[in-house]
């Protein structure tokens, strides 16, 4: 479990070495050695708080993320598409549950986290505040939004915090279907009638920039990156992941015969990477602040679902209590 | 917060992937009772045929070892390498050993 350096101190020293500085050193050397931190292990308070914030934001994003696509379940163009979309939206709900569970291992209750979401004090991914006016949006979300999410999430499978890493392994396995079904929708539209092709292009035009903003602010402006990387919560910087995403996605757009809506986008022979145009961070900040096209609508939908479900939660609990009381009387 | 007190209790979920394998911890779930915990675990953890059997147990019923006791509990086994077959050197010409 512990590193060589600490072992060499001998067993007696290990038991005395419990002051904060030593605990922190021992924690960091465990992280440096790529060992995992588990719920009952000692951890710095700031590490715990960072994880609670990140994991719960991630969970909220999955839950709110069910809404833009849920919008199309009743209007999916075929039974196959409908079954797939229901399965995908159900997965997103499941991902939210895995993540809330992981956050709870850090000593926060699920109710507290849900309250923060419903009160509007917690953040979730700004991408879900954009509307889904056409069926092509369902394709674009699967292809681009889930694609960007996978890029972000794969490194988190090796995160230093065990429960978060394990939740992410499950999630990444399931996300792959999401991305492929999205690309398939885009492919069908892009190869369809001119009108369908236009629909696919329009969806790409609207989702491209929000998708590449999903990786967060530029490295220079990202205040948490350095510490998160030292703690191995984060393995790559925002810009590194964004670049990777652009490099793999542009050829996919070309395959579809669609045009990425960035007039400055070009391949750079020297670096073997695409160079992209300037990102409008003002828009990102506005959406994050709550002024995106659908922020209010999304939160209202969550609050309504929570309120409408209250009687079910209460009735289930009352029923279980009654059953228990009956069993006790019978015994 | 009245709802805070009424939080559904937490259960740990264990799944047997195939008959012949042991149940393995996969995560946790909130439910009002054990039966509902199994129903919810089925929806959450076996959407892709991940299992043929589910165990649930109230999280509060689990008794775990303290990470602080890890050396006391597990270090003693560390220097007993003679418990492993590779500790013993046997000439190559001796077969089936």
- Does B57 fall in a domain? yes
Contacts of B73 in chain A (CB under 8 A): none
Q: Does B53 map to a domain?
A: yes
Mean pLDDT of chain A: 92
DSSP A162-188: HHHHHHHHHHHHHHHHHHHHHHHHHHH
Q: Tell me if A323 and B36 make a contact (CB, 8 A cut-off).
A: no
The answer to whether residue B27 is domain-embedded is: yes
**Residue B48 is part of a domain; what is its CATH number?**
3.10.20.520
Q: What is the pLDDT of residue B94?
A: 95
Residue A14 reports pLDDT greater than 50: no
Which of B7, B44, B75 is facing A109, going by the closest CB pair?
B7
Q: Does some domain include residue B26? A: yes
pLDDT in tens, A258-283: 999 999 999 999 999 999 999 999 99
B64–A contact, CB cutoff 8 A: yes
pLDDT at residue A133, as a whole number: 96
Beta-carbon separation of B66 and A109 below 8 A: no
**Nearest-by-Cβ selection for B7 from A14, A111, A324:** A111
Q: Does residue B86 belong to any structural domain of this protein?
A: no
Point out the residue among A15, A97, A104 whose CB comes nearest to the CB of B44.
A97
Residue of A189, A210, A217, A212 whose CA lies nearest to A201:
A189
DSSP H or E stretch at residue A93? helix A79-104
The pLDDT of residue A19 is 81
- Cα–Cα distance measured from residue A178 to residue A323, given in angstroms and rounded to the nearest whole number: 41
Look at residue A11 and tell me whether its pLDDT is greater than 90. Answer: no
Predicted local distance difference test score (pLDDT) of residue B5: 55
What Å distances lie between residue A280 and A57, A203, A209, A230, A284, CA to CA? 23, 18, 8, 29, 7
pLDDT at A10 over 70: no
Domain presence at residue B72: no
Task: Tell me which of A3, A83, A98 to substitute to probe the interface with B (most B C-beta atoms closer than 10 Å).
Answer: A98
B78 within a domain of the structure (yes/no): no
**Domain residues for B6?**
2-62
Q: Is residue B90 part of a domain?
A: no
For position A325, what pLDDT does the model report? 93
Number of domains in chain B: 1
Q: Is the pLDDT of residue A31 over 60?
A: yes
What is the value of ipTM here, to two decimals? Answer: 0.85
């Amino acid at each position: 479990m512990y590193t060589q350096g600490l072992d060499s101190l001998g067993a007696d020293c290990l038991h005395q070495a419990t002051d904060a500085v030593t605990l922190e050193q021992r924690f960091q050397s465990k992280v440096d050695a790529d060992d995992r931190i588990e719920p009952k292990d000692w951890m710095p308070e700031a590490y715990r708080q960072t994880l609670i914030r990140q994991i719960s934001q991630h969970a909220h994003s999955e839950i709110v993320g069910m809404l833009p696509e849920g919008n199309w379940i009743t209007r999916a163009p075929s039974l196959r598409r409908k079954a797939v979309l229901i399965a995908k939206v159900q997965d997103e709900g499941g991902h939210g549950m895995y993540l809330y569970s992981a956050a709870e291992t850090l000593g926060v209750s699920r109710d507290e986290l849900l309250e923060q979401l419903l009160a509007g004090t917690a953040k979730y991914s700004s991408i879900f505040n954009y509307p889904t006016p056409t069926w092509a949006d369902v394709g674009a979300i699967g292809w681009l939004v889930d694609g960007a999410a996978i890029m972000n999430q794969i490194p988190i499978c090796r995160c230093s915090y065990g429960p978060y890493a394990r939740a992410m392994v499950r999630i990444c396995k399931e996300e792959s279907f999401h991305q492929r079904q999205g690309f398939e929708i885009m492919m069908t539209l892009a190869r369809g009638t001119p009108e369908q092709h236009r629909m696919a292009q329009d969806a790409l035009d609207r989702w491209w920039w929000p998708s590449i903003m999903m990786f967060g602010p530029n490295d220079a402006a990202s205040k948490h990156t350095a510490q998160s990387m030292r703690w191995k919560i984060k393995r790559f910087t925002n810009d590194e992941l964004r670049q990777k995403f652009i490099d793999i996605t542009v050829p996919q757009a070309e395959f579809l015969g669609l045009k990425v809506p960035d007039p400055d986008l070009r391949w750079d022979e020297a670096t073997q990477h695409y160079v992209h145009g300037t990102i409008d961070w003002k828009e990102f900040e506005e959406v994050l602040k709550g002024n995106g096209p659908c922020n209010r609508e999304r939160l209202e939908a969550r609050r309504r679902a929570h309120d409408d479900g209250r009687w079910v939660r209460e009735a289930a609990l009352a029923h279980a209590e009654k059953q228990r009381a009956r069993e006790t009387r019978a015994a | 917060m009245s709802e805070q007190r009424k939080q559904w209790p937490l259960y740990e979920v264990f799944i047997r992937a195939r008959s012949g394998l042991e149940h393995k911890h996969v995560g946790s779930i909130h439910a009002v009772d054990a039966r509902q915990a199994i129903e919810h675990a089925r929806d959450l953890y076996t959407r892709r045929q991940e299992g043929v059997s589910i165990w649930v147990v109230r999280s509060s019923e689990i008794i775990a070892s303290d990470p602080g006791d890890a050396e006391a509990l597990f270090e003693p086994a560390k220097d007993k390498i003679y418990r492993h077959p590779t500790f013993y050197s046997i000439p190559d010409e001796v077969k089936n050993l």
